[in-house]
Structures are given as structure tokens and as C-alpha cells.
């Protein structure tokens, strides 16, 4: 009898391992459900009565999916209890994302064939040789260290620079540090961080936290082990760091040049202030929802460029969203190889596996389809222009949280679409890639080759 039970339990466990996406989706859905119930309590709202279901569901989803889109004024609408609930949901969502993504990478690695495992082990030790306990401990230590460091810096600035009491300054510092590292973008100021647009002691620590959270746990683990030995970095770390630096520089130049003379955004600032604002708004689309400029006043070119940065997102197994920067860079090298007429796709002295290319194409094209379908639906549900609707849809899918100010104006159906985009954008790429890798199987035959005309 005990043998039969053990066999049954083993089969059930293997079933879950074959479909880890189910566990991930159910876990995040449960967190959103709990958050919705807590936000509907009368104690969560600063005004009389409780919160309606749609508002609570929207903000619980936005917090757990570390997005930052809101339909109400966070510091005005929610009580301290409500703000603490949102902060807790952000922390649970961010920690869960980094942990689950890293564990899924570890699970995928163990399910690979011997040759692939040896190649992966030689390439990176970030997810290949760690155990579950080590992964969780590493994510926890990185999260706590980064959040405490940034919280201390912000607390000092709020207390010494803005005459906040130490209790209030600590609360503001912790809240914005957690929100920044988890790339959530929730702020306790009605104008987000527009009031601090030219304050480097506020903007730079928050930008650092956003970048740190967006790089991903595998990158930080490898940097901790190999530090400055950049020649021994894995392809994943090299691609993530180099592309992140490149996009930050290009994004800063783009935003600053586009908005230089715009009085509605940074036109009235001095030169250092403009450069700081340009850098800050180059970091935020990576995917935190803080804004130091009013995007409703931004120029069309800035909105379009920001959409591109939001869609790309940040690093894998981190708190950033989007299609992930490694996906974008990999597709770039695919184009380079095709233009050059090369048989293999190569990057940084490595040949890219065909399976990774197919997975990147799948994630990118499905993401484009999801954003376009949602944008088309929202266009029919609102009178707002296409550029603002597209900006909102990309921000939701990429779990950024930047807004041109139309979120609260959307109908209930429109807000439900954004809720679906946030959930899909947060969990879609992670679960899709892991599912594709885990279900991969070989065939004993190959069909005759065909070459359709392209272009």
C-alpha cells in the first residue's frame, strides 16, 4: 500500500515539474486575490467606506506584478494600512518573480541533456550548479542589501533636505526603496517624483535601485563570484550588462535632446537638471513607473522612443518586465548574421543555440501581438489618441507603470484589459520560455526542406 502511495505521489510531483507554469500562475493569482480582499477593507482607504472591487483588483494586480499603474491618487486615496498592503504586495511580487524565474532556470537546466548541461555549466555558474536553498538565500540577501542601502540614502535626504521627521523620512525611504528595487514605481507623492526632478540625492539612488533590480539575480550572483574578471563572464551577463549600459546612454541622449526645449517637461531646468532628468527618464522605462516629467506634456517622439525602451525591458530573472534585454540583443545578432550571410548567429565570441533563437522569436512576436490586440481594443473603448493608448498598453504589458494620465479615464472594460496585460506581461515571458524549454523533444525523422519566398 505504501509503495502505491509513493508511486502516486511521485507521479503527481513529476506532473507539476512538467508544468511549472501552472504553479507560477496560480501562486501569483492567489497573491492578487489576497491583495484585492485586503484593499477592499475599510481600513485600507483614507475616506469613508471600502474600495470597490475593480479599483482593489487593479491596484493589487499592479502591485503584485510590480507595474505601478494606478487609477487613484496613492497618497490621498489609500490609508497608511492600504499603503503598507501595497508595499507588501510589491515585495512579495518582486521577490517571487526573481526567485521563481531563477528556480525555473535551474529546473530547465536540470532537464537538459548531458551535452547541454556541460555546456551550460561551463558557460555560467549562476543557475547551473546552485541548489534551491542557495537560490532563495541569494535572492533574499541581494534584495535586503539593496533595499536597505537605498532606503538609508533616501531617509537621510528626506530628513535632512526636506525637513521630514525621522519617522516619516524612514517610511518614505523604505517605501520608495522597495518600490524602486522591485521596479514597481508606486510613489507616495501625488505627482510621483516630478517635484524631485533636479534633485540628484533622490533621483540617483532610486535610479540605482531600479537598475540593480532589473539586472536579475543570475547577473548579480555571477558578479559576486567573478567580480572584475569580465573576460570570464557568461554570455548572459555580458549581453545584459553591455546592452543595459548602451540603452541607458542612448536613452539619456534621446530623451534629453527631444525634451531639451519643451517647457512642459525639462525645458525650464538648467543644464545639469536637464541631464539628470534625461538620465532618470531613460532608466524608468526599464521598467519602473516613477516619472520625474509629465508624460502628458512630452513630445510624440519621446512617447514613441519610451514605448520602445519599455517594450525591451530589463534583465531576465529580475524584477524588470518587457521581452527582456537578452531577447532583444539576441534578435539583433540574428539580423546581423543574416545581413552578413553567416550560417551561425554569434555574439561575444559565442555561437547562439538555435533553440534560444526560436524562443526569442516566439516571445517577441507573441508580445507584439498581445500589445497590438490590446491597443486595438482600447482604441475602440476610449476617445484618447492612438499614441497615448499605445503608450498605456505597452506600459501595462511591460509592467512599467509610466502613464500619460489616461489610466483613470478608461472604462471598466478598459481597466480590465490593462489588468490582463499586466498579468500576462509579468508572467507570460517567464512561463512561456520555461514551458518551451521543458517540453522540447526530438523527432526520429525530418521532413524535406522547403524555402518559401521572403520579402
Each residue's pLDDT tens digit, 363-401: 898 899 999 999 999 999 999 999 999 999 999 999 999
344 belongs to a structural domain: yes
407 belongs to a structural domain: yes
Q: In the predicted model, what is the mean pLDDT of residues 238-259?
A: 94
Per mean pLDDT, which range of 25-29, 355-359, 440-444 is the poorest?
440-444
381 belongs to a structural domain: yes
Q: In the predicted model, what is the mean pLDDT of residues 269-279?
A: 95
Banded pLDDT at 118 (limits 50, 70, 90): very low
Query: Residue 126: its pLDDT value, please?
Result: 44
Find the angle CA(22)-CA(27)-CA(320) to the nearest 5 degrees: 95
Query: Residue 104: its pLDDT value, please?
Result: 58
Mean pLDDT, the chain, as a whole number?
84
Strand-pair category, 346-347 with 350-351: antiparallel
| pLDDT tens-digit series, residues 213-236 | 889 878 888 887 766 666 778 888
User: Cα dist. 368→19, 338, 354, 361, 372 in Å?
Assistant: 25, 22, 21, 11, 6
2 belongs to a structural domain: no
Please report how many Cα atoms fall inside a 13 Å half-sphere around the Cα of residue 149, on the Cβ side. Answer: 16
Q: Beta partners for 350?
A: 347
Domain count, the chain: 1
Angle between helices 80-111 and 114-123 (to 10 degrees): 120
Query: Residue 441: its pLDDT value, please?
Result: 59
Q: In the predicted model, what is the mean pLDDT of residues 101-118?
A: 50
* Of 323, 334, 315, nearest in space to 367 by CA: 323
- CA torsion sign, 322 to 325 to 330 to 333? positive
The structure's pTM equals 0.86
Q: In the predicted model, what is the mean pLDDT of residues 16-42?
A: 79
Q: In the predicted model, what is the mean pLDDT of residues 52-66?
A: 95
Query: Residue 115: its pLDDT value, please?
Result: 44
Query: Residue 452: its pLDDT value, please?
Result: 80
Residue-range definition of the domain harbouring residue 332: 8-438
Query: Residue 347: its pLDDT value, please?
Result: 87
Query: Residue 258: its pLDDT value, please?
Result: 95
Please state, for a pLDDT cut of 70, what percent of the chain lies above it: 80
Scan for cell 518573480, then name that residue: 97
Please state, for a pLDDT cut of 90, what percent of the chain lies above it: 56
181 belongs to a structural domain: yes
Q: Which residue has the higher pLDDT, 156 or 99?
A: 156
Q: In the predicted model, what is the mean pLDDT of residues 311-330?
A: 88
pLDDT at 16 over 80: no
Q: Which residue has the higher pLDDT, 27 or 403?
A: 403
Helical ranges in 162-216 per DSSP H: 166-181, 200-215
Rg (alpha carbons) of the chain, rounded to whole number: 22
Helical ranges in 298-440 per DSSP H: 300-312, 325-340, 354-381, 386-397, 412-438
Q: Which residues in 235-272 are b (16+ Cβ under 10 Å) and which e?
A: bbbbbbbbbbeebbeebbebbbebbeebeebbeebeee
Phi then psi dihedrals of residue 313, to 5 deg: 80, -150
Identify the burial level of 318 via C-beta atoms within 10 angstroms of its C-beta, where 0-12 means exposed, 13-18 middle and 19 or more buried.
buried
Phi then psi dihedrals of residue 78, to 5 deg: -90, 145
Cβ atoms of 276 and 246 within 8 Å: the answer is no
pLDDT at 267 over 50: yes
Phi then psi dihedrals of residue 69, to 5 deg: -70, 140
Cβ atoms of 178 and 90 within 8 Å: the answer is yes
pLDDT at 120 over 50: no
Q: In the predicted model, what is the mean pLDDT of residues 192-204?
A: 95
455 belongs to a structural domain: no
Q: Which residue has the higher pLDDT, 7 or 346?
A: 346
pLDDT at 1 over 80: no
* Of 30, 28, 24, nearest in space to 67 by CA: 28
444 belongs to a structural domain: no
Banded pLDDT at 20 (limits 50, 70, 90): low
Query: Residue 234: its pLDDT value, please?
Result: 83
- CA torsion sign, 35 to 40 to 43 to 46? positive
Nearby residues of 52 by Cβ (< 8 Å), 6 or more positions away: 40
Q: Which residue has the higher pLDDT, 106 or 426?
A: 426
Scan for cell 524631485, then name that residue: 196
Banded pLDDT at 121 (limits 50, 70, 90): very low
pLDDT at 64 over 80: yes
CA 365 to chain centre: 18
Per mean pLDDT, which range of 22-36, 90-104, 169-183, 303-317 is the poorest?
90-104
Alpha-carbon span 277 to 292, nearest angstrom: 7
| pLDDT tens-digit series, residues 145-171 | 999 999 999 999 999 999 999 999 999
Nearby residues of 202 by Cβ (< 8 Å), 6 or more positions away: 154, 157, 193, 196
pLDDT at 102 over 80: no
| pLDDT tens-digit series, residues 280-292 | 999 999 778 899 9
278 belongs to a structural domain: yes
Amino acid at each position: 500500500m505504501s509503495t502505491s502511495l509513493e508511486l502516486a505521489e511521485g507521479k503527481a510531483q513529476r506532473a507539476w515539474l512538467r508544468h511549472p507554469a501552472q504553479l507560477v500562475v496560480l501562486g501569483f493569482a492567489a497573491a492578487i486575490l489576497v491583495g484585492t480582499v485586503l484593499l477592499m477593507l475599510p481600513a485600507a482607504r483614507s475616506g469613508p467606506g471600502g474600495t470597490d472591487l475593480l479599483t482593489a483588483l487593479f491596484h493589487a494586480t499592479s502591485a503584485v506584478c510590480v507595474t505601478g499603474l494606478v487609477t487613484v491618487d496613492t497618497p490621498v486615496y489609500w490609508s497608511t494600512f492600504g499603503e503598507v498592503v501595497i508595499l507588501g504586495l510589491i515585495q512579495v511580487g518582486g521577490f517571487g518573480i526573481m526567485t521563481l524565474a531563477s528556480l525555473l532556470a535551474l529546473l530547465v537546466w536540470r532537464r537538459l541533456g548531458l551535452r547541454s548541461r556541460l555546456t551550460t555549466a561551463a558557460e555560467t555558474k549562476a543557475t547551473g550548479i546552485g541548489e534551491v536553498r542557495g537560490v532563495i538565500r541569494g535572492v533574499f540577501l541581494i534584495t535586503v542589501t539593496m533595499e536597505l542601502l537605498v532606503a538609508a540614502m533616501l531617509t537621510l535626504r528626506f530628513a535632512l533636505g526636506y525637513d521630514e521627521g525621522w519617522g516619516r523620512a524612514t517610511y518614505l525611504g523604505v517605501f520608495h526603496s522597495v518600490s524602486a528595487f522591485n521596479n514597481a514605481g508606486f510613489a507616495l507623492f501625488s505627482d510621483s517624483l516630478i517635484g524631485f526632478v533636479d534633485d540628484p540625492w533622490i533621483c540617483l539612488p532610486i535610479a540605482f535601485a531600479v537598475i540593480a533590480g532589473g539586472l536579475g539575480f543570475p547577473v548579480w550572483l555571477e558578479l559576486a563570484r567573478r567580480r572584475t574578471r569580465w573576460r570570464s563572464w557568461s554570455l548572459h551577463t555580458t549581453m545584459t550588462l553591455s546592452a543595459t549600459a548602451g540603452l541607458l546612454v542612448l536613452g539619456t541622449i534621446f530623451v534629453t535632446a527631444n525634451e531639451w526645449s519643451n517647457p512642459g517637461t525639462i525645458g525650464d531646468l538648467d543644464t545639469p537638471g536637464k541631464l539628470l532628468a534625461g538620465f532618470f527618464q531613460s532608466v524608468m522605462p526599464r521598467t519602473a513607473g516613477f516619472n520625474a516629467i509629465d508624460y502628458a506634456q512630452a513630445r510624440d517622439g519621446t512617447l514613441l522612443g519610451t514605448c520602445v525602451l519599455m517594450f525591451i525591458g530589463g534583465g531576465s530573472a529580475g524584477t524588470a518586465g518587457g521581452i527582456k534585454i537578452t531577447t532583444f540583443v539576441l534578435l539583433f545578432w540574428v539580423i546581423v548574421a543574416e545581413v552578413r550571410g553567416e550560417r551561425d548567429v554569434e555574439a561575444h565570441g559565442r555561437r547562439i543555440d538555435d533553440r534560444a533563437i526560436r524562443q526569442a522569436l516566439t516571445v517577441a512576436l507573441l508580445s507584439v501581438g498581445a500589445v497590438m490586440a490590446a491597443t486595438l481594443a482600447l482604441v475602440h473603448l476610449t476617445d484618447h489618441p492612438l499614441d497615448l493608448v499605445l503608450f498605456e498598453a505597452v506600459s501595462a504589458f511591460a509592467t512599467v507603470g509610466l502613464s500619460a494620465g489616461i489610466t483613470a479615464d478608461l472604462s471598466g472594460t478598459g481597466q480590465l484589459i490593462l489588468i490582463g496585460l499586466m498579468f500576462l506581461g509579468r508572467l507570460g515571458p517567464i512561463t512561456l520560455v520555461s514551458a518551451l524549454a521543458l517540453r522540447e523533444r526530438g523527432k526520429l525523422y525530418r521532413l524535406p526542406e522547403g524555402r518559401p519566398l521572403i520579402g
